[in-house]
Each structure stands twice: as C-alpha cells, then as structure tokens.
C-alpha cells in the first residue's frame, strides 16, 4: 500500500524549484554538484511546507525531462534525500517526501514558537505582540462581572452576543458607515471569519483573486478550502495597488471572491488611498465579485500625521459587494480570539446558518471582554499602548537591520506590524533554514506568494525591540553569511542571549 497522500507533478515541482534564486557565486566560491543543488532545493520546499510531507514526487525520468537535466542527476538527488530522511521509496509505489525522525513537521502557516523555545530562539515568524496590560486583566474582570446573566442561558450565540453586535455596528456608524446589528456576525478571530466567507461564497474550485504578496495564513486557508488563487501583483514599495491590473483580472478571470488588506497591508505595510478603494469597489461590483476587505490592521497607524482613508465598505455601505473582516487580535492581543464580519443582512444570515455545522459560536467570556473594552476607554488606551510599542520596535529593528545588513532593501511603513525586505539577492527559503540554526526564526517570501513567488524576500515583524532587535539583526547577518558561503556549520552567535 502506498504511503503517500498527495502528489506533485513534474511541471509543478520544476516551477517551484526554479523560483529558488541563488546569489551568483563569487571568486573562490564552489558551487555544489547539480544533484546536491537539486536535493537541497527539494528539501527546502519540504522545509517550507510548499511541498507537503507524504507527497509523491515525480518519477526520475519525468523530473529529469522537466528540469532538462540527466536522469542520473535526479537519481542521485533522490538517493541523497533518502539517506537524509527526507524521502522514502517503495518499489511499485514510487517515492514520497518525509521528515527525519525527531524533526518537527514543517509549518504550512506562521504558527508561533512554543513557549519553551523562546529562551534560545528569537521569533520573527509571528506578527503579534504581548498583551497590553493592565487592559487585558481589566477587560476580563469586567467580563466576569457581566457573565452571570449569560450563565443562565445555553451559551450558544451563532451570530454573536447581541450586545457586542450592536457595539460593533455602532463603531462603524461612528466611522460614517451606518450599520445595523443585523449586518454583524462575531467570529472566532479573523481566520474564523475568512473560513466562513470562503466556504459560503467560494466553494471548491472557485477562483479567488489575492494580492501578491498577501497574508500567508489566509492564502493557506484558501488553498485548504480548495480555491484556485489568482495573484494580482502589488505595485513597487508602498504605493500599493495597481488598479488597472485589478480591473483586468476581475474582468477576465471573473473570480468569485477578491481578498485585500487595504489598511497597512500584510506583509508590505502599504496603505490604499481613497481613490484606490473607490475604484476597487467599482471594479468588483462590475465583475460581480465579492470583495473581502481585511481591516485587522486598520487601527495600527504608527505616525501622528497619518490620515486614514474611509473604510473600503464606505463605498458599499449596504454590504452587497464588500464584506469586511475585523478583529481584536492585531490591535489588542492575538490571544483575544474575537473577530467579526460586516456584510448585508442576507449574507450574515447565510453565514450564521452555515456556522451551525462548524463551531456554533464564539466564547461568551471573550466577547464580553471585548464589549467591555469597546464600551469604555479601555480599547483606545490599549491601542495607544500597542501603537507606541510597535513604533518603538519598528524603529529599533529598522536601525539594526540597516546597520548589520546594509545590502537589504525595504521601505519603512507608517503603520501595521511588518517590514517586507528584499534580502540582497539571497534566497529567503535558505535564510529561513539558516536562521533556525543560528537562533532566529524568520518567514521567507514564498510563504506570502503563489507558486514560489518572492523567493528573494523575508518578512520581519515589529515584535521585538531594543537589545533583542539588535541581536535578531546580528543573527540574521550570521544566517546571511551561511547562505552566501553555501556552508552548513561553523556559525557562531551569542547563545547566552535570552530573547
């Protein structure tokens, strides 16, 4: 019986491998043999999660033809992977990817490190900050005071607590978009909201237009839902969205859904202006596409002179074209898994009805905590703490990276939580792998693209500051030296430092 659970075609694997760009070899630098380079490339794809574990690889002859190399090269690469534990084979069943015994399975998203690893590894993988105290404690205490009446009910509120739905609706109304509670559904974080939206509007095999790059975890969620992703390239730097390209894709590909992060885009930090938002809504309406606007970063402006444009839903207040996703997780705390959807009442009713087959509802206590924050000055004060912390971390990280890695290129965003960095011609996947060995965890660019795009990039979040940011840059520079030299050992960094 075959041990593989999925398959990777020769053309697909060749395309993924071709995205792995290497810096040209300098004087005295020896390139690895062709079989070794191929084995390393496949191992990196497994490490990144872009080729799943237990995926059947193409036959040697098929892959050799796709790569225009000899069959001997492919056979030697497969044998090297088998000897290292990254490939298993059985006569008649083929060869499939694996991980060596004792190694963790590669992450398909950007899961945070387990707490026990934080003492030795600086985690730049997860764009989340510690809770802004004392506001978390006060919110939970306020929620406990409001809990007794709800404890006498069944506790299942598929659309969310009525009080919180009304509070979120009022917040949109204050922002200039009249909103009824019937247009709001409370979810278990923004990911829960996106999962519900994809299953209701998308369906397996449906096209979804996405920014390129885009948020890695959402891209993976869409893939798992069976969507066909249609990437739309972002403009260079922080200029954001190419509306002519968006209009062309929406018209020609006719995607069922389009997903955008207009407020301090993850990962680039770009902020869409008012005209871009209006034109994007018009294009989606003309194409019959549901435009999902992710607002999870909307309150994280980091400069006092930033003028926030109207929300995307301001150009479709009835919610017939624009479905808005919000969350407390980025602006407040990732552990506060409260998100919401704003859409037309009809769409909300459909989402709520479909939810009965998923999770039935969101935890009552956490909803009460967010409702307490919104109903007092707690939310705004907590977000002010978050902005100050993110701004300080951003400035420290920018200074450290510019000092330690002057060849890396980026623009400093005026909000959000992430820095999108072109890594001086190095492979982001190889930097991520080398970083694990020198004590810094960093996600590579291809996690944020479709089909291997952005190999030359890494994303750096504003989650560490001060001496930790300086040490993170030192370790990134050490990882870069490993990649440049093609070496795998002999890297020395300070292991006494506690992140």
Per-residue pLDDT tens digits for 383-397: 999 999 999 999 999
Instruction: Judge if 163 and 44 occupy the same domain.
Output: no
Instruction: Judge if 352 and 208 occupy the same domain.
Output: yes
Is pTM, for the whole model, over 0.75?
Answer: yes
Q: What CA dihedral angle connects 182, 186, 190 and 195, to 10 degrees?
A: -80
Is residue 338 a part of any domain in this protein? yes
β-bridge partners, 415: 301
Is residue 18 a part of any domain in this protein? no
Given 351, 375, 399, the domain boundary residue is 375
Give the ranges where 299-377 is alpha helix by DSSP (H). 345-355, 364-375
3-state SS of 124-170 is CCCCCCCCCCCHHHHHHHHHHHHCHHHHCCCCCCCCCCHHHHHHHHH
Instruction: Judge if 437 and 311 occupy the same domain.
Output: no
Is residue 494 a part of any domain in this protein? no
Domain containing residue 470: CATH number: 3.90.1150.10
Instruction: Judge if 206 and 259 occupy the same domain.
Output: yes
pLDDT of residue 20: 62
Is residue 184 a part of any domain in this protein? yes
Count of the separate structural domains present in the chain: 3
What is the C-alpha to C-alpha distance for residues 65 and 45, in angstroms, rounded to an integer? 20
Instruction: Judge if 305 and 181 occupy the same domain.
Output: yes
Is residue 19 a part of any domain in this protein? no
What residues of the chain score a pLDDT lower than 70? 1-6, 19-30, 48-49, 102-119, 451-452, 487-499
Instruction: Judge if 147 and 41 occupy the same domain.
Output: no
pLDDT of residue 30: 66
Is residue 106 a part of any domain in this protein? no
Domain containing residue 254: CATH number: 3.40.640.10
What is the C-alpha to C-alpha distance for residues 327 and 108, in angstroms, rounded to an integer? 22
What is the extent of the structural domain holding 452? 115-127+391-485
Which single residue is written with the structure tokens 């300070």?
494
Residue 101, Cβ density class (10 Å: 0-12 exposed, 13-18 middle, ≥19 buried)? exposed
pLDDT of residue 108: 46
Whether the CB-CB separation of 202 and 225 falls below 8 Å is answered with: yes
Instruction: Judge if 235 and 309 occupy the same domain.
Output: yes
Instruction: Judge if 84 and 178 occupy the same domain.
Output: no
Instruction: Judge if 286 and 138 occupy the same domain.
Output: yes
Instruction: Judge if 292 and 193 occupy the same domain.
Output: yes
Whether the CB-CB separation of 32 and 486 falls below 8 Å is answered with: yes
Helix (H) or strand (E) holding 384: helix 378-404
Q: With CA atoms as reference, report the closest residue to 442 among 470, 467, 468, 479.
A: 479
Is residue 386 a part of any domain in this protein? no
Which tens digits make up the pLDDT trace of 81-91?
A: 999 898 999 88
Domain containing residue 91: CATH number: 1.10.10.10
Q: Above pLDDT 90, what percent of the chain?
A: 67
Is residue 213 a part of any domain in this protein? yes
Whether the CB-CB separation of 449 and 13 falls below 8 Å is answered with: no
Instruction: Judge if 123 and 145 occupy the same domain.
Output: no
Instruction: Judge if 370 and 326 occupy the same domain.
Output: yes
Q: What DSSP letter does each residue of 84-128 carry, written as one string?
A: HTSEEEETTTEEEE---TTPPPPPSS-PPPPGGGTTT-EE-SS--
């Amino acid at each position: 019986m075959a041990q593989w659970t999925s398959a990777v075609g020769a053309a697909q694997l060749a395309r993924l491998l071709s995205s792995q760009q290497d810096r040209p070899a300098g004087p005295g630098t020896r390139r690895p043999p062709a079989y070794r380079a191929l084995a390393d490339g496949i191992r990196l794809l497994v490490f990144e999660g872009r080729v799943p574990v237990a995926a059947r690889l193409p036959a040697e002859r098929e892959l050799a033809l796709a790569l225009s190399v000899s069959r001997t090269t492919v056979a030697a690469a497969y044998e090297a992977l088998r000897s290292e534990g990254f490939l298993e084979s059985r006569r008649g069943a083929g060869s499939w990817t694996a991980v060596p015994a004792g190694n963790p399975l590669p992450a398909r998203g950007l899961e945070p490190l387990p707490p026990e690893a934080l003492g030795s590894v600086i985690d730049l993988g997860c764009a989340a900050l510690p809770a802004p105290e004392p506001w978390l404690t006060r919110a939970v205490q306020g929620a406990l005071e409001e809990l007794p009446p709800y404890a006498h009910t069944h506790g299942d509120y598929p659309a969310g607590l009525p009080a919180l739905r009304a509070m979120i609706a009022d917040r949109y109304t204050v922002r200039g978009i009249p909103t009824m509670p019937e247009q709001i559904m409370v979810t278990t974080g923004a990911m829960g909201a996106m999962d519900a939206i994809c299953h209701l509007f998308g369906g397996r095999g449906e096209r979804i237009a996405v920014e390129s790059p885009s948020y890695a975890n959402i891209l993976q969620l869409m893939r798992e839902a069976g969507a066909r992703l249609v990437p739309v390239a972002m403009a260079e730097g922080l200029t954001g969205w190419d509306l002519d390209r968006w209009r062309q894709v929406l018209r020609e590909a006719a995607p069922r859904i389009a997903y955008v992060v207009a407020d301090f885009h993850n990962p680039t930090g770009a902020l869409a202006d008012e005209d871009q938002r209006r034109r994007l809504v018009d294009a989606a309406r003309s194409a019959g596409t549901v435009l999902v606007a992710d607002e999870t970063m909307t309150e994280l402006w980091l400069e006092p002179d930033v003028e926030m444009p109207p929300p995307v839903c301001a150009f479709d207040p009835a919610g017939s074209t624009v479905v808005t996703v919000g969350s407390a997780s980025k602006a407040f705390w990732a552990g506060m898994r409260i998100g919401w959807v704003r859409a037309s009442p009809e769409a909300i009713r459909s989402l709520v009805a479909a939810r009965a087959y998923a999770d039935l509802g969101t935890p009552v206590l956490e909803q009460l905590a967010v409702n307490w924050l919104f109903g007092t000055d707690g939310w705004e004060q907590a977000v002010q703490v978050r902005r100050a912390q993110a701004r300080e971390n951003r400035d420290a990280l920018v200074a450290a990276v510019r000092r330690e890695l002057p060849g890396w290129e980026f623009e400093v965003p005026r909000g959000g939580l992430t820095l999108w960095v072109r890594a001086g011609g190095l492979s982001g996947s190889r930097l991520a792998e080398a970083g694990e060995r020198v004590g810094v965890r960093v996600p590579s660019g291809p996690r944020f693209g479709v089909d291997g795009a952005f190999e030359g990039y890494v994303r750096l979040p504003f989650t560490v500051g001060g001496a930790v940011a300086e040490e993170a840059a030192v370790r990134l520079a050490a990882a870069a030296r490993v990649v440049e030299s093609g070496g795998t050992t002999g890297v020395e960094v300070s292991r006494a430092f506690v992140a």
